[in-house]
């Protein structure tokens, strides 16, 4: 029962399904669709992680293009504040750290979030779009008083919306976001330019201010103990997976990074969050033992300066991570190792790029938040089967596509 919900835990699927059944009865007054008028004030919700916001850039810009005179408010988590403020198409950025998304036990509890959403009613939103399919954030939309509320129902909360859009699990997150905008503005399906097209790709790019570029250049010049020669090649590596289920073994990251950096004659820029010390330290040690100079920026810089640093690099080697999407957003080619994640849904929005994965009967399961019991406590098979040789070959193919493959072929 409730098989229409894209929730893999049976108990959670039943709980959300029963909640939806109750909301169908109780929420009917909220579902009346108002007359179509040009929206004057628009609310956009993107409460999830860094990559989720970056994958929504094109959809946010499509909203502005269809409502050039509207006031657009974007609600994001604090982790995305710096990036959100770079989106010129948004008038106001508001910070909401939902407890179910915030890490380390922080975040606002449901009651505080409800009170916050009630204060939005005075703004008179004509249109609200929730880029996440979540019953809890749909509740915030309903409490906002927005006349039209557009979103997905695959994770519950459909009765709280005036316009339910089908979530297509076979499409990229970016394309599903565009489907919401198409419904909101009564556009034909698939009429907006996708990120995979020449016309659409620029809409997913992030413009980094010159101050951040200057800070990034200065930081790189001082990293690693000895001055870095301006213009010398850099290879970025983000080895931390964010979750154990997405962690390719660190020693394999080091082996692949060492081979590609040697090919390039490059130093390696090691990135990571403040809590990634152990992984980044191991990477640093292994690279140094191989004679590869590494420049550690883990935990030392904000997202905007990190974006500028990534833009200085020839490519980024990583897993399915937020920095993967950040590199793509600033035009840096990506070499990504995928395990349980679905590359067609979450892959980097940049061409050229390379995604390395293995086909297993159970992969990709996309069970990131609650992995199968047999995959907990160790590296899952879908990542242990990804070999260093395959990643290095894909990296060399990527670099060759950028016109820097001749040196490697001559080795």
Phi-psi sector, 21: left (phi>0), alpha (psi -120 to 50), beta: alpha
Is the pLDDT at 70 greater than 90, yes or no? yes
**Do both 191 and 246 map to the same domain?**
no
Q: Is 185 part of any domain? A: yes
Structure tokens at 7: 């929730």
- Say yes or no to pLDDT of 299 above 80: no
Listed residues 172, 188, 204: the one ending a domain: 204
Are both 191 and 234 inside the same structural domain? no
**Location of structure tokens 């339910």:** 164
- pLDDT tens, 374-387? 999 999 999 999 99
**Residues 58, 176 share a domain:** yes
pLDDT of 354 > 80? The answer is: yes
Pair 226, 265 in one domain? yes
Q: Match 């008028």 to its residue by tokens.
A: 37
Distances (CA, A) of 36 to 39, 124, 186, 233, 249: 9, 15, 9, 54, 53
Bridge partners (DSSP) of residue 355 are 336
- Which among 204, 223, 257 is the end of a domain? 204
Q: What is the pLDDT of residues 181-218, one digit of tens each?
A: 999 999 999 999 999 999 999 999 999 999 999 999 88
252 in the same domain as 181: no
- pLDDT score, position 407: 46
- The H-assigned helical ranges of 27-172 are 50-54, 57-66, 81-84, 110-119, 135-144
Residues 215 and 191 in one domain: no
- Regarding predicted confidence, which is higher, 229 or 98? 98
pLDDT band at 349 (very low <50, low <70, confident <90, very high): very high
| Position 70 in a domain | yes
Q: Give the closest residue to 84 by CA, choosing from 108, 117, 60, 68.
A: 60
The full DSSP string for 101-137 is T-STT-SB-HHHHHHHHHHGGGG--SEEEESS--HHH
* DSSP assignments along 259-314, one per residue: HHHHHHT-EEEE---TT-HHHHHHHHHHHHHTT--EEE-TTSS-HHHHHHHHHHSS
Looking at residue 41, the DSSP 8-state letter turns out to be E
Task: Measure the CA angle with vertex 194, ends 188 and 198; round to 5°.
Answer: 125
Cα dihedral sign, 389-328-42-38:
negative
* Whether residue 32 has pLDDT greater than 90: no
Whole-Å CA distances, 172 to 51, 311, 344: 12, 24, 6
* pLDDT computed for residue 366 by the predictor: 92
- The whole-model pTM stands at 0.92
Tell me which residue of 376, 371, 411 sits closest to 392, measured CA to CA: 411
Domain membership flag for residue 5: no
Whether 196 and 222 map to the same domain: the answer is: no
Among 108-117, 305-314, 325-334, 401-410, the range scoring the smallest mean pLDDT is 401-410
pLDDT for res 18: 56
Question: What CATH number is associated with residue 181?
Answer: 3.40.50.2000
| pLDDT at res. 21 | 54
Q: Are residues 329 and 386 in the same domain?
A: yes
406 vs 273, higher pLDDT? 273
Residue 110 is assigned to a structural domain of this protein: yes
Indicate whether 280 and 178 sit together in one domain. Answer: no
| 1-17 tens-digit pLDDT | 555 656 557 655 545 55
Instruction: Examine the pLDDT at 230 and tell me if it is beyond 60.
Output: yes
Residue 1: inside a domain, yes or no? no
The 10s digit of each residue's pLDDT in 243-287 is 999 999 999 999 999 999 999 999 999 999 988 999 999 999 999
Helices and strands: H and E segment counts in the chain? 16, 12
Confidence label for 156 from pLDDT (cuts 50, 70 and 90):
confident
Question: For the chain, how many structural domains are there in total?
Answer: 2
Q: Is the residue at 270 inside a domain? A: yes
Which of 174, 204, 234 is a domain's end point? 204
Domain assignment of residue 161, yes or no: yes
Give the C-alpha separation, 129 to 87, whole Å: 17
- Per cent of the chain over pLDDT 70 is 87
Rg (C-alpha) for the chain, rounded Å, is 22
**How does residue 30 score in pLDDT terms, banded at 50, 70 and 90?**
low
Domain carrying residue 138: 10-204
Are 200 and 227 within one domain?
Answer: no
Looking at the fold, whether 197 and 214 belong to one and the same domain comes out as no
Q: Which of 230, 233, 236 is nearest to 326 (CA)?
A: 236
Q: Is 100 part of any domain?
A: yes
Q: In this structure, are 149 and 199 located in the same domain? A: yes
Confidence (pLDDT) at 227:
60
């Amino acid at each position: 029962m409730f098989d229409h919900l894209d929730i893999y835990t049976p108990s959670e699927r039943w709980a959300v399904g029963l909640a939806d059944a109750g909301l169908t009865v109780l929420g009917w007054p909220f579902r009346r669709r108002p007359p179509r008028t040009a929206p004057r004030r628009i609310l956009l919700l993107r409460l999830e992680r860094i990559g989720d916001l970056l994958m929504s850039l094109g959809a946010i810009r499509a909203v502005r293009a269809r409502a050039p005179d509207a006031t657009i408010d974007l609600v994001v988590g604090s982790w995305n504040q710096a990036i959100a403020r770079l989106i010129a198409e948004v008038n106001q950025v508001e910070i909401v750290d939902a407890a179910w998304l915030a890490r380390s036990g922080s975040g606002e509890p449901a009651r505080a979030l409800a009170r916050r959403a009630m204060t939005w009613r005075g703004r008179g939103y004509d249109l609200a779009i929730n880029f996440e399919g979540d019953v809890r954030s749909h509740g915030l939309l309903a409490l906002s008083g927005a006349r039209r509320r557009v979103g997905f129902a695959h994770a519950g909360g459909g009765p709280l919306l005036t316009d339910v859009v089908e979530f297509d699990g076979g499409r990229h997150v970016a394309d599903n976001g565009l489907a919401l905008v198409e419904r909101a503005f009564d556009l034909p399906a698939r009429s907006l330019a996708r990120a995979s097209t020449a016309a659409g790709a620029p809409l997913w790019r992030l413009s980094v201010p010159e101050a951040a570029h200057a800070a990034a250049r200065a930081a790189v010049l001082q990293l690693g103990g000895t001055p870095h020669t301006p213009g010398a090649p850099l290879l970025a590596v983000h080895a931390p997976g964010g979750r154990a289920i997405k962690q390719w073994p660190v020693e394999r990251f080091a082996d692949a990074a060492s081979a590609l950096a040697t090919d390039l004659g490059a130093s390696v820029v090691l990135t990571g969050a403040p809590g990634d010390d152990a992984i980044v330290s191991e990477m640093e040690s292994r690279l140094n033992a191989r004679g590869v100079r590494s420049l550690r920026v883990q935990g030392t810089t904000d997202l905007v300066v990190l974006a500028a640093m990534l833009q200085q690099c020839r490519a980024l080697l990583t897993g399915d991570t937020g920095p993967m999407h950040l590199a793509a957003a600033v035009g840096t080619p990506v070499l990504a190792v995928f395990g349980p994640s679905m590359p067609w849904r979450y892959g980097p929005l940049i061409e050229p790029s390379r995604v390395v994965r293995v086909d297993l009967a159970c992969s990709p399961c996309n069970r990131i938040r609650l992995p199968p019991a047999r995959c907990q406590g160790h590296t899952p098979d879908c990542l242990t089967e990804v070999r260093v040789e395959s990643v290095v070959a894909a990296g060399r193919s990527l670099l060759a596509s950028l016109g820097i493959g001749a040196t490697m072929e001559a080795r």
